Amino acid sequence: MTIPAPESILPEGTQRTYQVRTFGCQMNVHDSERLSGLLENAGLVEAQGAQADVVVFNTCAVRENADNKLYGNLGQLAPVKEQNPGMQIAVGGCLAQKDRETILKKAPWVDVVFGTHNVGSLPTLLERARHNNEAQLEILESLDVFPSTLPTKRDAVYSGWVSISVGCNNTCTFCIVPSLRGKERDRRPGDILSEIQALVDDGAIEVTLLGQNVNSYGVEFGDRGAFAKLLRACGGIEGLERVRFTSPHPAAFTDDVIDAMAETPNVMPQLHMPLQSGSDKVLKDMRRSYRSTKFLGILDKVRDRIPHAAISTDIIVGFPGETEEDFQATLDVVEKSRFATAFTFQYSKRPGTPAAELPDQLPKSVVQERYERLTALQDRISAEENAKQVGRRVEVMVTAQQGRKASETHRLSGRSRDQRLVHFSVPAGAEPPRPGDLVTVAITEAAPFHLVADPASAADYSLRRSRAGDAWDRSQAESCGVPSAGATSGAKAAVSLGMPVLPVRSN
């Protein structure tokens, strides 16, 4: 696809600004990197505080309130656009793929609607809408261009997402994603490793391999062991210190992946393994193709090979037909699993999914009560598991994000190797780290959702300045137009995306 030259989008003598608003999963976060890259490649600059000339919504369709969230935001922008006739609004992502013409009917002030398969068309559609003075709708039914070939604007330099596949071949009855993102398409291993190498060359020391079901990676080109091989290949990339992946599927999770995790030093001792339900009956109704015994067996194998692995999960409460006995089975599995953290959701009826047509849809009051019991149990387990970390020395990769109380506590934040959030202080006389640097500290306090490390003296604090920290310095200097100490002439700005902050749980 040919991207319009900047002058074809911009009014003469001005430079337009953009803002991308992202809803939903890591895949959407990664797609938004591409959208930002495309817009900057077309001559726009990111809005800094002021109202943007182009606002792009990258939407999610998984939760029931996704529609309300989008249309609420669009409603707020309607009077803004009326006062700024040159402003453009675009809606993409899963909800756009699903609702199509409905968006333009409900919000006729939207200029562009595009789907999950044609992210790369956004600049052309914006220009066409401006030139023709009418809304543009383009929804493709299959992938146009693999997203990883598109320009990218990453938000930080120390870590990044790398997509290994798009789409999904599973048929979970509650999930609308396969119908919106299509069948799984796998990237070739060489392309993935080349992108990782490019990130490392730009200063990144951490990558997260991303797919709807990473365990099925390689099926498209006939190698069922491809994902384990990819993990091992990541271990051979010099300068790559941390490798993570999300999300696997218990039905396809094999021992060779566990072996690769255990035997590849830069693959982190952390695993996100979606449970969804502990009831075998509900799992069958969900078409999850595994049962609770197999799920618990996987966790046992992981912990046998990687004793300090932190395991997180996803759980849905209130699936149609879920009885009190079914829910108790979920509580039992959660108790046995000892998850470090869990992303818990109340079942959301989504039109177009088989589960939406099932009988015995549960009353909201029942689902809410069960949800509260589940979160109370998991909060207790998270607190107990985090308490075991007190006294341990952990290596923390410093991030640019800070805790909500950072101004009061003067603590910085980062992620341990097992992905736990750590807020830490720098003792008097010690050198402060930069985002991307690594500090080693002993955990002094624990809470359900984070750890605290307050070293008593500089002797209890160890700092390792990293290539990622150097890249952070360069990126900050370049954004201000000021050379940084030690920056080489003509050095490129780093282009990787930091790990996301864990979302605040909501009902």
pLDDT of residue 2: 36
pLDDT of residue 494: 36
pLDDT of residue 3: 37
Most distant pair of Cα atoms in the chain: their distance: 67
Residues linked to residue 218 through DSSP beta bridges, in sequence order: none
Q: What residue has token string 């984070």?
A: 450
Give, as one character, the DSSP assignment of residue 310. Answer: E
pLDDT of residue 341: 97
pLDDT of residue 338: 98
Strand, helix or coil at 339?
coil
Can you tell me the distance from the alpha carbon of 261 to that of 59, in angstroms, rounded to the nearest whole number?
33
- CB neighbours of residue 413 within 10 Å: 19
Give 231: exposed, middle or buried? Use CB within 10 Å, 0-12, 13-18, 19+. Answer: buried
| E-state strands within 247-379 | 270-272, 310-317, 341-346
Distance between alpha carbon 422 and the CA centroid of its chain, in Å? Answer: 19
Q: Which residues are annotated as a binding site for [4Fe-4S] cluster?
A: 25, 60, 94, 168, 172, 175
Strand, helix or coil at 113?
strand
Taking Cα atoms as reference points, which of 185, 142, 141 lies closest to residue 167?
185
Can you tell me the distance from the alpha carbon of 39 to that of 125, in angstroms, rounded to the nearest whole number?
12
pLDDT of residue 9: 45
Tens digit of each residue's pLDDT, the chain (507 residues): 333 433 344 445 568 999 999 887 777 787 888 898 899 988 999 998 889 999 999 988 776 677 778 889 999 999 999 999 899 999 998 888 888 889 999 999 999 999 888 888 899 999 999 988 999 998 887 666 666 666 666 667 899 889 999 888 899 999 887 777 788 889 999 999 999 999 999 999 999 999 989 999 999 899 999 999 999 999 999 999 999 999 999 999 999 999 999 999 999 999 999 999 999 999 999 999 999 999 999 999 999 999 999 999 999 999 999 999 999 999 999 999 999 999 999 998 887 899 999 999 999 999 999 999 999 999 999 999 999 999 999 999 999 988 778 778 889 999 999 999 999 999 999 999 999 999 999 999 999 999 999 999 999 999 999 999 999 998 888 766 444 444 333 333 333 333 333 333 333
Domains of the chain (ranges; CATH) run 6-138 (3.40.50.12160), 152-387 (3.80.30.20), 393-465 (2.40.50)
- As given in the structure block, the two tokens for residue 130 are 């401006």
Q: Which residues are annotated as a binding site?
A: 25, 60, 94, 168, 172, 175
The DSSP annotation for 225-261 comes to THHHHHHHHHTTSTT--EEEEE---GGG--HHHHHHH
pLDDT of residue 266: 98
Can you tell me the distance from the alpha carbon of 38 to that of 188, in angstroms, rounded to the nearest whole number?
23
Can you tell me the distance from the alpha carbon of 109 to that of 115, in angstroms, rounded to the nearest whole number?
18
Taking Cα atoms as reference points, which of 274, 169, 148 lies closest to residue 219?
169
Residue type at 85 in one-letter notation? P
The pTM for the full model equals 0.79
